[in-house]
Structures are given as structure tokens and as C-alpha cells.
Amino acid sequence: MTTFIVRIELHNAFGSDYTNLHHAMSSEGFSNTIHGDDGKTYKLPTAQYSATTDSTLNTVYDAAKRASQKTINQSNTSNRFSILASNTNGNMWIGLDTI
């Protein structure tokens, strides 16, 4: 299984747009948390998501794009968004809140 990290920016968005994005990303199988080697779960920064799956990077990207498109269709944004999706062999962080 591979862990993927996805960052989405909704252009000209409001807080409620990111709430809608979170629900859409959850329905596509993404989480806004990450699990540490210490056994704890950490909250990712706003609009950053993780997925651990056997899927390809293209499949993960397509799922994030679908979620973003659902979000902008519900909002007053300029219907623009940016996505960065990557697969990872490991992650390091500091300052993330545990949940």
C-alpha cells in the first residue's frame, strides 16, 4: 500500500467551501489526518489530505479532482482550484495537533 498526500487550494473561496471540500474528499476516501510511527493520529493542515491505498497516483488525483469539482459547483468561487498530489515513502512533520 502507498500513502498519498494531496493538497487542494480553492481560489476565491470561503470557509464554508473548505467544509464542503472536506466532506467531498471524505466521500472519495481521503482523510485529513495522518498516522505517526508513535501510534498517534495527527490533524493535517487545512485542505491537505492523505490516502493509503493500492491505487495509482492517477487514480488518487482523479478522485481529488472529482471532489474539488463537486465543491466548486456548490460555491461562489471563481470555479478554480489547484491540486498537488504525490505518493510518498515517508513523511516528517512538526507542530501538527494530535487527535
- The helix/strand/coil state of 36 is coil
With cut-offs at 50, 70 and 90, classify the pLDDT of residue 80.
Answer: confident
The 10s digit of each residue's pLDDT in 9-49 is 998 888 888 899 999 999 999 999 999 999 999 999 989 99
Distance, CA of 94 to CA of 40 (rounded, Å): 13
For domain 2-88, give the fold. Alpha-Beta Plaits (3.30.70)
Residue with cell 474539488: 68
pLDDT value, residue 76: 57
29 grid coordinates: 476516501
pLDDT over 80 (residue 84): yes
Q: Phi first, then psi: give them for residue 87, nearest 5 degrees.
A: -95, 155
What is the pLDDT, as a whole number, of residue 73?
A: 60
Which are the contacts of 24, defined by CB distance < 8 A and separation ≥ 6?
66, 67, 68, 70, 71
Q: Going along 24-67, which residue ranges are E strands?
A: 33-35, 41-43, 48-53
